[in-house]
Amino acid sequence: MNLQPVGNTEIVRKQVYQGHPSANDGENKPTEITYPTTEVVGHGSFGVVFTTTIKETGEDVAIKKVLQDRRFKNRELEIMKLLKHLNIIDLKYYFYEKDTHGEVYLNLILDYMPQSLYQRLRHFVHIPSAMPRLEIKCYMYQLFKSLNYLHNFAFVCHRDIKPQNLLVDPDTFALRICDFGSAKQLKPTEPNVSYICSRYYRAPELIFGATHYSNQIDVWSSGCVMAELLLGQPMFPGESGIDQLVEIIKILGTPSRQEICAMNPNYMEHKFPQIKPIPLSRVFKKEDEQTVQFLTDTLKYDPMERFSALQCLCSSYFDELRHAQGQLKQIVDSLRLLQFDYSTEFAHLTQDQLQAVRLKLQATQVR
């Protein structure tokens, strides 16, 4: 690291690689950037996060520093190079550095966002007040837009959707997914670890030990996030892996044999006491029918019965955004909620499916 003192602030000079080099550039050659010494804003099992401003562009950025195992490529870096979407934190640059012990660290230079969705929810819990339902709806729409892109274009499963990994700007209601440290491109022929995803948001097929699960685990996690925003606390606050399943069963009831088979056909262990489900309308007493139905569609035991990210976008729960007028329309337009890149977000659809989806997702005038 080269440090150049300027007054009381040290300026860091770094040779960095572009996160998304142009195809015309050929080899990704390093470029130099400078920024003031950084302030630590977060710690985790992964490493540290700093914030700073790049002198050359004036952009505020976050720098995520993680220990790099020399034997392997960094999967998070390889995945982030693939991703370019308005609702996903963008990889601007990356670089490697060694510490005094010879350990190699990877530094990811990312978009900066003011706070996490977890921090935003804590703000309302401490007031105390409910988070505005329209704000929740804007966040959830952007979350499912990003998941549709991840699942159907990049073929990436995030595997750790939770409020801490969703960054927001409370002034504009913008949302972006971050932290791809657990993300993976799932392949039907390859097994995956089932001990993944933070406990409160862990899909039931993972708790049942499935190793051939699908991107639908992200939809379950997203349903749990939405439920938490509405309730002000986690919906399924399990204290251990098995207790997590108990918390789910207390509300959704005991899964049927067919549902258990759909989650993990190899599961042969305990029989569960027969618990009847509690209607979600009783859990979410203040919410309208569309909201309750939407949660029901995202929190299904059977991953194939659970809505996909695209089905979530098409849900009538989001019609309010498509019918927006006045100030709400300004928010919808500024966030580009109803704008899609058809070559990436809907490339997996047939022409007939695309026509139907277009009709459903476009803005409509209420008469």
- Which residues are identified as catalytic? 160
Output the 3-class SS for 9-71.
EEEEEEEEEECCCCHHHCCCCCEEEEEECCEEEEEECCEEEEEEECCCCCCEEEEEEEECCCC
Residues linked to residue 50 through DSSP beta bridges, in sequence order: 40, 63
Q: What share of the chain is helix, strand, coil (3-state, %, to 5)?
A: 40, 20, 45
Inter-helix orientation angle 326-334/133-149, to 10° = 30
- Residue position matching structure tokens 């601007």: 92
The annotation status of 65 as a binding-site residue, yes or no, is yes
DSSP 211-246: SS--THHHHHHHHHHHHHHHHSS-SS--SSHHHHHH
Q: Is 359 helix (H, G, I), strand (E, B) or coil?
A: helix
The closest alpha carbon to 154, from 186, 130, 132, 128, belongs to 186
How many residues appear in the chain? 367
For tokens 């804003």, the residue is 41
Strand boundaries in the chain, DSSP class E: 2-6, 9-18, 31-36, 39-44, 47-53, 60-67, 91-98, 104-111, 115-116, 166-169, 174-177
Helix (H, G, I), strand (E, B) or coil at 297: helix
The Cα diameter of the chain in Å comes to 70
CA 74/CA 160 separation, integer angstroms = 17
Q: Which of 204, 153, 199, 161 is nearest to 182 (CA)?
A: 161
Q: Partners of 3 in the beta sheet?
A: 12
Residue 20: is it exposed, middle or buried by C-beta count within 10 angstroms (0-12/13-18/19+)?
middle
Return the bridge partners of 167, or none.
Answer: 116, 176
- Report the distance separating Cα 287 and Cα 293, nearest Å: 10
Residue stretches of the annotated binding site:
65
Residue stretches of the annotated binding site for ATP:
65
